[in-house]
Amino acid sequence: MIDAKTRYIVLIGDPVEHSLAPIVANAVFEREGANYAYIAVKVRPEDLESAIAGLKACGVVGLAVTIPHKIEAMKYIDEADDFAELVGALNLIHFKDGRAIGYNTDGYGALKTFEEEGITLNGKKVVILGAGGAGTCMAYQALLAGAGEVVILNRTAEKAYRLVENVKKKMGCCVEGRIGGLPLTKENVTESLQPAEVLIHTTSVGMYPNEAETLVRAQQLRPGMVVYDLIYNPLKTQLLKEAEKAEAIPINGLGMLVYTCQRAVQVCTSIEPPLDLMKRVAIEGRS
């Protein structure tokens, strides 16, 4: 029950109405009998600075940060963890001893999901569709996880090229020859996927309410290929249906949501959230 001693984690974004994170985190607090609450508020881009300062002044313990604030919020923190610094974006701010500490746990969420499925990226050829916030994060994470080669395809080709240049600048010679960018055309998707072992889909194509849409068909996939779709609404996107047809390994975005929510609770409250409960609540929340 919320009372005068309740402490808050606040999700800020625009839109935030469809986020599952509040029901997942609040289920943890209820189970643990912890006097915390996780709430979501819509914050417009022009209000970001004052919202962060105001919530800090109100004594909230942390902010989960989502679209479209992940990059801009980097301006309003005192320090960042290594991955947020590398990517130039964050998804969590912890207020501690008067300081605002930024974290990026999206890559962690993806890696934990792979780990759960017994998949490693080491030495593998990875194709990433999309060069937005999630695509950027996955490009850095795949290379850090030892991917042999990463090819990024994006509808706006310049964004893919810019991302490749940024990665090369920041990661230096260790990524030389391991990263490339292409325009997202059917031919480029087909050619890139031929030698690939892992496909990571980070665009919003196929997300509710456009559930019939997909950028990739079964004929372009192979048995045993990992097909990871970051979307979790719906849980089985058209892309994952195509992966099933091709006897590839389909993985949805629910794990990433749960693991990033788990990290937010761990960092901001020191509670060790029960993953099984979080997954169950997330699946129930989806349906």
Ligand X SMILES: NC(=O)c1ccc[n+]([C@@H]2O[C@H](COP(=O)([O-])OP(=O)(O)OC[C@H]3O[C@@H](n4cnc5c(N)ncnc54)[C@H](OP(=O)(O)O)[C@@H]3O)[C@@H](O)[C@H]2O)c1
The stretch among 37-45, 71-79, 82-90, 149-157 that binds ligand X (CB under 6 A) is 149-157
Give the CB-nearest residue to ligand X: 132
The stretch among 34-42, 140-148, 163-171, 196-204 that binds ligand X (CB under 6 A) is 196-204
Query: Binders of ligand X among 216-235, rule CB under 6 A?
Result: 230-232
At 11, phi and psi to the nearest 5?
-85, 125
At 237, phi and psi to the nearest 5?
-75, 170
Contact 283, 236 (CB under 8 A): no
Does residue 268 belong to the site contacting ligand X (CB under 6 A)?
no
Minimal distance, residue 67 CB to ligand X, in Å: 5
Report the alpha-carbon distance of residue 283 to residue 233 in Å, rounded: 10
Query: Binders of ligand X among 92-131, rule CB under 6 A?
Result: 106, 130-131
Q: Given candidates 37, 134, 139, 226, which one binds ligand X under the rule CB under 6 A?
A: 134
Active site residues: 70
Report the alpha-carbon distance of residue 261 to residue 267 in Å, rounded: 10
CA-nearest of 14, 1, 8 to 67 is: 14
Residue 133 or 250 with smaller CB distance to ligand X: 133
Residue 37 or 256 with smaller CB distance to ligand X: 256
x/- site string to ligand X, residues 15 to 54, per CB under 6 A?
Answer: ----------------------------------------
CA-nearest of 269, 230, 229 to 92 is: 269
Does residue 153 belong to the site contacting ligand X (CB under 6 A)?
no
CA-nearest of 245, 251, 236 to 287 is: 236
Report the alpha-carbon distance of residue 226 to residue 193 in Å, rounded: 11
154-161, long-range: CB < 8 A, 24+ apart:
154/129, 154/130, 154/181, 154/183, 154/184, 155/183, 155/184, 155/203, 156/131, 157/181, 157/182, 157/183, 157/184, 159/131, 159/132, 160/131, 160/184
Does residue 142 belong to the site contacting ligand X (CB under 6 A)?
no
Query: Binders of ligand X among 61-80, rule CB under 6 A?
Result: 67
Minimal distance, residue 63 CB to ligand X, in Å: 16
Binding residues (CB under 6 A) for ligand X: these are 67, 106, 130-135, 154-156, 159, 184, 202-205, 207, 230-232, 253, 256-257, 260
